[in-house]
């Protein structure tokens, strides 16, 4: 049985209201705020950027020795930037300052950040970035202060956050478990309260799976609306269209402002499209259709996760929304469709990225790994072996391409401009370390399918389950309807409470 949501006491409600009004009595209360709330307090001079940054650095130092989420820090530079931000505030009107002025954040290591490592988890790539990724530049322009960069697996291509440079990242709710990947470091450090929000990347669930495992919010934007310039590694060819950069955050209200900040063409990424994003506030919830299909996938799903999705659907029914329980038989083929699209769209193999000279032999590397002499991790070696076999090529691929077009048409028509689909983010809550090697197909079945379809997808937390781990649901919309999936996530946060601080954070609501 999953835990029922406890009714808040009068004192807790009063405390929340006081914090929302900017009346901070304990530095730990800063961690309960969204990035937007922190920014408003800084601009109103109720709290200094320096104090906010110092408080988050202190928290980061405390939790990171257990999590191993932040792999390189820039604390001194961040404090200097915070001091300058406070000086600017003294001479400026609040409305003239960028939206996130003086607010700390973190970034996935795969995003270029000037002066910081950018290895992509590959042992040979000891690269220090000499420029910022486009999304990072835009985040800085919005006033954000970067505290550090966070861990990801090799080539950002696995759901277990581990590599031979930085080691393994742990889940803040249970250190024996994975925080997910590939943006696992971001998920873990944000969930622990040490960062209000950050940026990750997603080509098969790499934002949503860590958000789900770590009990926070994560948004995979519609395909090709955020430039991927300055992300390493990056696929070549049409597969690059499936990769996107997006936000992870403790609070849902930060998702859309961050998306607005980083979206739009930069003149470098030729795939990126111009789009005028609609505002979540423009959505009238009474007009939203909720589609909650019965899960019919090939892979089994935890009953607890399916019940959590059902609870969300039932909630929307109780507030008068139209909830439709439809069947989409083609979703059974999701992992086939995902891997077919990926295999046929990429013009570079994983093996070519694994070694500097491109001469990587996965079969030889398995023997090296067995002898403890490999600089690579087993999941990536296995993936390199599998890509040598044409599972999804030729006539079989042609048949699956047709299924892809059918599924895209069906889901687009069903959702329209006013509907969202609820779907499991994964088959279980956060697995124990090492066990994801037996879940090779999960990302394709539950999250990756929406990358190749190009749909926006938001992961929202639903409290804590019976094993003390976060539950959650995925909210999917039609292309460019990011505002709609995020608006539904905001409503879910109001109803179910959103992020629940893990014990390791020492934060209490």
Provide the annotated active-site residues. Answer: 108, 182, 206
Residue 107 forms beta bridges with which residues?
A: 149, 199
Tokens (6 digits) for 219: 């948004």
Round to whole Å and give the CA distance between 296 and 313: 17
**By the 8 A CB rule, do 444 and 191 touch?**
no
Give backbone dihedrals phi and psi of 422, rounded to 5 degrees, phi first.
-90, 135
**By the 8 A CB rule, do 292 and 306 touch?**
no
**By the 8 A CB rule, do 47 and 24 touch?**
yes
Q: Report the 10 Å Cβ neighbour count for 330.
A: 17
Round to whole Å and give the CA distance between 27 and 31: 8
Q: Is 200 helix (H, G, I), strand (E, B) or coil?
A: strand
Q: Is 449 helix (H, G, I), strand (E, B) or coil?
A: helix
Cα 221 vs. chain centroid, distance in angstroms?
10
Round to whole Å and give the CA distance between 481 and 278: 8
Residues 6+ apart with CB under 8 A from 240: 228, 234, 271
Q: Is 261 helix (H, G, I), strand (E, B) or coil?
A: helix
First to last CA, the chain: 23
**By the 8 A CB rule, do 383 and 233 touch?**
no
Count, residues in the chain: 509
H-run or E-run covering 218: strand 217-220
Shortest CA distance to 259 belongs to which of 271, 251, 268, 248? 248
Q: Report the 10 Å Cβ neighbour count for 7.
A: 6
Tokens (6 digits) for 440: 């090779």
Q: Quote the strand ranges of 48-196, DSSP E.
A: 70-73, 104-108, 145-150, 162-163, 167-168
Q: Is 302 helix (H, G, I), strand (E, B) or coil?
A: coil
Q: Report the 10 Å Cβ neighbour count for 306.
A: 13
Q: Report the 10 Å Cβ neighbour count for 283.
A: 19
**By the 8 A CB rule, do 101 and 40 touch?**
no
Round to whole Å and give the CA distance between 231 and 354: 16
Shortest CA distance to 285 belongs to which of 83, 492, 446? 492
């Amino acid at each position: 049985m999953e835990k029922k949501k406890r009714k808040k006491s009068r004192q807790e409600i009063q405390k929340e209201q006081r914090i929302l009004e900017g009346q901070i009595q304990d530095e730990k209360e800063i961690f309960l705020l969204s990035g937007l709330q922190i920014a408003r307090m800084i601009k109103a001079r109720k709290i200094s950027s320096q104090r906010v940054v110092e408080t988050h650095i202190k928290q980061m130092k405390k939790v990171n020795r257990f999590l191993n989420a932040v792999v390189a820090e820039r604390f001194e530079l961040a404090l200097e930037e915070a001091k300058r931000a406070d000086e600017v505030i003294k001479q400026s009107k609040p409305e003239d300052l960028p939206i996130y002025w003086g607010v700390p954040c973190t970034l996935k290591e795969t995003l270029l950040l000037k002066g910081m490592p950018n290895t992509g988890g590959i042992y040979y790539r000891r690269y220090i970035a000499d420029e910022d990724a486009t999304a990072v530049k835009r985040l800085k322009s919005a006033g954000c202060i970067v505290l550090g960069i966070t861990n990801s697996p090799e080539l950002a291509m696995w759901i277990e956050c581990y590599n031979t440079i930085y080691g393994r990242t742990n889940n803040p709710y249970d250190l024996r478990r994975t925080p997910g990947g590939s943006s696992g470091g971001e998920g873990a450090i944000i969930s622990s309260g040490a960062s209000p929000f950050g940026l990750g990347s997603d080509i098969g669930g790499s934002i949503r799976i860590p958000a789900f495992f770590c009990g926070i919010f994560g948004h995979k934007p519609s395909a090709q609306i955020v430039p991927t310039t300055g992300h390493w590694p990056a696929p070549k060819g049409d597969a690059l269209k499936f990769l996107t950069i997006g936000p992870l955050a403790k609070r849902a209200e930060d998702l859309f402002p961050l998306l607005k900040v980083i979206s739009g063409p930069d003149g470098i990424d030729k795939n990126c499209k111009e789009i005028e994003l609609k505002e979540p506030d423009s959505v009238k919830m009474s007009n939203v259709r909720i589609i909650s299909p019965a899960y019919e996938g090939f892979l089994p799903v935890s009953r607890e996760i399916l019940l959590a999705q059902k609870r969300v659907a039932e909630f929307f029914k109780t507030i008068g929304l139209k909830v439709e329980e439809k069947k989409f038989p083609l979703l059974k083929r999701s992992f086939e469709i995902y891997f077919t699209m990926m295999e046929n769209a990429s013009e570079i193999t994983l093996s070519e990225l694994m070694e500097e000279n491109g001469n990587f032999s996965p079969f030889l590397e398995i023997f090296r790994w067995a002898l403890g002499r490999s600089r690579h991790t087993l999941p990536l070696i296995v993936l390199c072996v599998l890509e040598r076999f044409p599972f999804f090529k030729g006539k079989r691929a042609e048949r699956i391409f047709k299924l892809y077009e059918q599924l895209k048409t069906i889901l687009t028509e069903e959702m329209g401009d006013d509907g969202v689909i609820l779907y499991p983010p994964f088959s279980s809550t956060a697995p124990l370390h090492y066990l994801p090697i037996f879940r090779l197909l999960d990302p394709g079945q539950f999250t990756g399918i929406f990358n190749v379809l190009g749909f926006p997808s938001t992961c929202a937390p639903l409290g804590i389950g019976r094993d003390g781990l976060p539950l959650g649901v995925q909210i999917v919309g039609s292309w460019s309807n990011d505002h709609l999936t995020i608006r539904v996530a905001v409503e879910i946060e109001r109803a179910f409470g959103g992020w629940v601080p893990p014990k390791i954070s020492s934060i209490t609501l």
